[in-house]
Structure 1
Amino acid sequence: MKISIGNDHAGPDYKKAIVQFLESKGHTVTNHGTDTFDSVDYPDFGHKVATDVSEGKADFGIVICGSGNGIAMSANKHQGIRTALCWIKEIAALARQHNDANIISIPARYTSIQQAIEMVDVFLNTNFEGGRHATRVGKISC
C-alpha cells in the first residue's frame, strides 16, 4: 500500500515511529512532514498529503499536528478527501467503516505514539461497510 504522511512541529517523533511501523509491514511511505521541532505551518503539509491521496499517488494519508484539527481542516479542503480526527482506535475503525475516511488525523499532544500506531494499523486494515453509509458519504461532497 502507498501511504502519504505529513506533520508539523508537534509530530516528528510520531511520524518517525509510524513510518518505521508502516515500512516494517511492507508499505511505501511518502514523507511530506518536517523532521524538526522548529515551528512550521501545518496547512503546508496537510495539503501535500491530501493532494497525494486525491490524485491517486497514495492509497491513504496520515496527518499529524498538535490537536489534529488544523491539519485535518486543511486536508478536507480537497475534493474527495475525508479526513477523520481520531484519538482512539475505535474512532479510527468507525471513520473507515462508516465514513470511508481516506486520511487519518492524529492529535500528537493528546495521544501517545503507541496509540497513534494502533490507530493507523486499525485505520489501514478496516474496510468501508458501504450500504446505508454510502448514501451518507455521497452527501459529504458539495
Structure 2
Amino acid sequence: MKIAIACDHGGFPLKQELAELIKSLGHEVIDLGAHQYDKVDDYPDFARYMGQAIQHGQADRGVLLCGSGVGASVAANKLTGVRAAVCHDTYSAHQGVEHDAMNVLCMGARIVGVEVANELVRAFLGAKFSGEERHERRLEKVKGMEAGG
C-alpha cells in the first residue's frame, strides 16, 4: 500500500521512526511533512495535505501526528472521503479499519511512546475492511452524512 505520513511540530519527533517502520513492513511511504521542526507550524495544514493525498488516490491510508492526535483528527475529518480517528490502543487501530473503513490513523506523539506507536501502526496497516453487510450499510450512512444528508 501507499501510506502517507504527516505531522506538525508536536508529532515531529515520532514521524521519521514511523516512516522507517512503514517501509520495513513493505509499504511505500509518502512523506507530506513537516520536513523540519518548526514550533509555529499548524496541524490543519498537514491534515489538509493528508486529506488531499487520500482524496486524489496518491495514498491508500495515512498516519497523521500532532501533540495529542485530536486536532489532527478533527481537521482531517473535514475533508470528504477521509475517515480519521485518534487511536492510542491496538484494538481501536485495527477495528477502526475492519468495521469503519478508517483510512487515517491519528496519534498524539506527546501521548504515546515510540513502541506503542509502532504497535498501533502495525495493527492499523495489518487490518482490512470486513465488507460485512452491516459495516457496508453503516459506511454508506456515514458517506451520506458527509454529502450533506
- Same fold, TM exceeding 0.5? yes
Counterpart position of 2:100: 99
Where do 5+ consecutive residues of structure 1 fail to align? none
Q: Secondary structure at the match of 1:139?
A: helix
Counterpart position of 2:28: 28
TM-score norm. by structure 1 comes to 0.94
Counterpart position of 2:14: 14
| Cα-to-partner distance string for 1:43-100 (whole Å, 9 max, x where unaligned) | 0001101110111101101100111111111111111110011001111011111111
Q: Is the CA contact 1:10–1:37 (under 8 Å) kept in the aligned structure 2?
A: no
Counterpart position of 2:129: 128
Q: Does 1:139 align with 2:141?
A: yes
Aligned residues: percent identity? 35
Over aligned residues, Cα RMSD in angstroms? 1.2
Q: Does 1:80 align with 2:101?
A: no
Deviation of residue 14 (structure 1)? 1.0
How many residue pairs were aligned?
Answer: 142
Deviation of residue 140 (structure 1)? 1.2
Where do 5+ consecutive residues of structure 2 fail to align? none
After the TM superposition, which parts of structure 1 deviate over 6 Å for at least 4 consecutive aligned residues? none
Deviation of residue 37 (structure 1)? 5.0
Question: Within 1, Cα distance between the matches of 2:71 and 2:97?
Answer: 20
TM-score norm. by structure 2 comes to 0.90
Q: Secondary structure at the match of 1:78?
A: coil
Amino acid at match of 2:88: W
Counterpart position of 2:5: 5
Question: Within 1, Cα distance between the matches of 2:25 and 2:93?
Answer: 19
